Amino acid sequence: MSSKKTKLELTWIGKEHRPRLEPRILLEEPDKSHHAKFRVKEWPQENAKNAKGSDSLRSSVANEDRAKVKDLPQEIAENSKNSDSLRSLRSFAANEVGDIFDNMLIRGDNLLGLKALEQEFAGKVKCVFIDPPYNTGSAFEHYDDGVEHSIWLSLMRDRLELIKKLLTDDGSLWITIDDNEAHYLKVLCDEVFGRKNFVANIVWQKRYAPDVRIAISDAHENLFCYAAATSAFSKVANLIPLAEAQTKQFKNPDNDLRGPWKASDFTAAGFRPNQMYDITLPSGRIVTPPAGRCWRVTEEGFRKFTAEDRMYYGPKGDGVPALKRFLSEMKGMTPWTWWPHTEVGHSQEAKSESQALFERDSAFATPKPERLIERVIHIATNPGDLVLDSFLGSGTTAAVAHKMGRRWIGIELGEHCETHCLPRLKKVVDGEDPGGITQAVGWKGGGGFRYYRLAPSLLEKDKWDNWVVSKEYNAAMLAEAVCKLEGFSYEPSDSLYWQHGHSTERDFIYTTTANLSHDQLQELSDEVGPERSLLVVCSAFRGRKEGYPNLTVKKIPNAVLTRCEWGKDDYSLKVENLPKAPPAPGQQELF
């Protein structure tokens, strides 16, 4: 018999096709960023000092340094306004300040957006919540929702793989989905995250009355929870507060000074000899554990509870022994997989929240209730942790995370990033959103966020159909983009014009649109010296490629042409963006 293990796998047409994503840089649009007057925590002096080279980011690709190499064309690097935003992005990714000031609202396709975040945020996101289009075939006012099933799976798989890379070791992903794709998505998630990292399929009661127009009305949506690693997640997952119905079960019939309490079972299943003693009730009756059970603790433990006045025998002192559990000592309860609308809201509640935020006619079509997201964020994170939603919709996750003191990143492709997310989040920062969970968490305003867009593709076609560096890139953007592409950390030096970034302490990168001569390369090589190495990315060079032991010289764009798909801006869930089916074997010769 073959020892080869078979693997259960969902396959579909085009599964093997994987986009080769361009790692874009993010550009802040400062006029859309919004901050309260003061940080939630002020930037500490020490951090400011420690933020190495912070002032030099982007700006130090400076003209005067460049001029140190004779005859270099004077490509003027814009002393970019983005230096501040990149510094803040780094500090935000490292959680140096631990406040909610530099959260990120990103407009663009989330596949490119997630890829853009990968370098700085891999392993840093504690909780991802997504509410993707459910592929129901409906066209909502703000976005379309319906592509061929296998394509939907491909598009989701590509995003899930990137999301997994962003999660912390104890992080978790939460996805809402209805029954159209839920079961396929479950198998897909098992494949990406590993079946052992499936935590739960929570059933959220989205409706409280059936839809009478159809044969069987759906009452729920699924909320999948996957952990980066189940064991790590279960150590950090928070209990949830007791619901009102549960707290009502705590009473105080004997006026115990410790407050309301609930009688809990004092027996346990099984037979353990040291838990099988007699108990004499206040009435004088002697009782033993019922058949098949023992007492919950040893006799010594029982005596301790008695001394603490925690044993209860009914109003007449003749009932089965019970243990008093005080409400004040309850840390919360383990969440379970049934989330009724009474606890976390329903779709109509979400609609009302959206209508209160926007004009009735412009309310978002498919928002989630703030209470639902609050519970997810409560279980999965603590204040200061980073929450990501890459299908941000009307901004609910960002708004809730902000009110709960979590840092957040939201990505939204649609126009409503500006018409809904932006004004909603401004209101949250300004303390002018009284709806949703505001009262419950006591949110008064503060913090802020920066608005980013994805940079255009680094390469574009010229009029002769050749790939060239996009005209929209200035020198600083080019240096940063090439760093990202080559896996270097962009950190231009104040003093050395050729140090735009580093991969190790001794390995640097220098990007220029210049045509470098042999003399210039030799001068660079001498300056770099034998202890360091430098990757030089330039438009052209006239020296000997192998002639400089400490330099690797590459031409842009030629050296990067095959690296990724250039000029592709939209990988969204729309039919026109679908990967083309590869020609059948043998067909190639026909073209």
Ligand X SMILES: C[S@@+](CC[C@H](N)C(=O)[O-])C[C@H]1O[C@@H](n2cnc3c(N)ncnc32)[C@H](O)[C@@H]1O
H helix runs in 293-395, sequence order = 299-307, 341-344, 347-357, 370-380
- CB burial of residue 512 (10 Å; 0-12, 13-18, 19+): buried
* DSSP reduced 3-state for 99: coil
Nearer to ligand X, 512 or 572 (CB): 572
Q: Which residue has the tokens 């007492």?
A: 295
Asked whether 225 and 202 are in contact (CB, 8 A), the reply is: yes
Region from 31-39, 126-134, 291-299, 486-494 binding ligand X, contact rule CB under 6 A: 126-134
Residue of 124, 164, 368, 402 interacting with ligand X (CB under 6 A): 368
Residue of 197, 366, 470, 520 interacting with ligand X (CB under 6 A): 366
Residue of 233, 364, 497, 541 interacting with ligand X (CB under 6 A): 364
Asked whether 511 and 497 are in contact (CB, 8 A), the reply is: no
| Distance (Å, whole) CA 170 – CA 296 | 33
Tokens (6 digits) for 509: 């990168």
Residue of 80, 110, 197, 222 interacting with ligand X (CB under 6 A): 110
Residue 498 Cβ vs ligand X, minimum distance, rounded to whole Å: 37
Contacts (Cβ under 8 Å, ≥6 apart) of 413: 107, 108, 109, 110, 143, 570, 572
Residue 358 Cβ vs ligand X, minimum distance, rounded to whole Å: 11
- Told to check if 367 binds ligand X by CB under 6 A, we report yes
φ, ψ of residue 84 in degrees (nearest 5): -65, -40
Nearest to 195 by CA among 156, 236, 230, 160: 230
- Told to check if 109 binds ligand X by CB under 6 A, we report yes
Residue 108 Cβ vs ligand X, minimum distance, rounded to whole Å: 7
Residue of 396, 499, 511, 550 interacting with ligand X (CB under 6 A): 396
Tokens (6 digits) for 70: 């004779």
* Cα Rg, the chain, nearest whole Å: 30
Tokens (6 digits) for 211: 């839809």
Residue 556 Cβ vs ligand X, minimum distance, rounded to whole Å: 28
Residue of 21, 385, 572, 578 interacting with ligand X (CB under 6 A): 572
Region from 93-101, 213-221, 412-420, 521-529 binding ligand X, contact rule CB under 6 A: 412-420
Number of residues located near ligand X, criterion CB under 6 A: 21
Residue type, 462: D
Region from 8-16, 314-322, 364-372, 551-559 binding ligand X, contact rule CB under 6 A: 364-372
- Told to check if 414 binds ligand X by CB under 6 A, we report yes
Residue of 135, 222, 394, 438 interacting with ligand X (CB under 6 A): 394
Helices (H) and strands (E) in the chain, counts: 18, 27
- Told to check if 143 binds ligand X by CB under 6 A, we report yes
How many angstroms separate the Cα of 181 from the Cα of each of 213, 337, 358, 435, 463?
A: 22, 19, 30, 32, 44
- Told to check if 222 binds ligand X by CB under 6 A, we report no
Nearer to ligand X, 143 or 452 (CB): 143
Nearer to ligand X, 412 or 480 (CB): 412
- Told to check if 353 binds ligand X by CB under 6 A, we report no
Residue 292 Cβ vs ligand X, minimum distance, rounded to whole Å: 49
Task: Return residues touching ligand X (CB under 6 A).
Answer: 109-110, 131-133, 142-143, 364, 366-368, 391, 393-394, 396, 411-414, 572-573
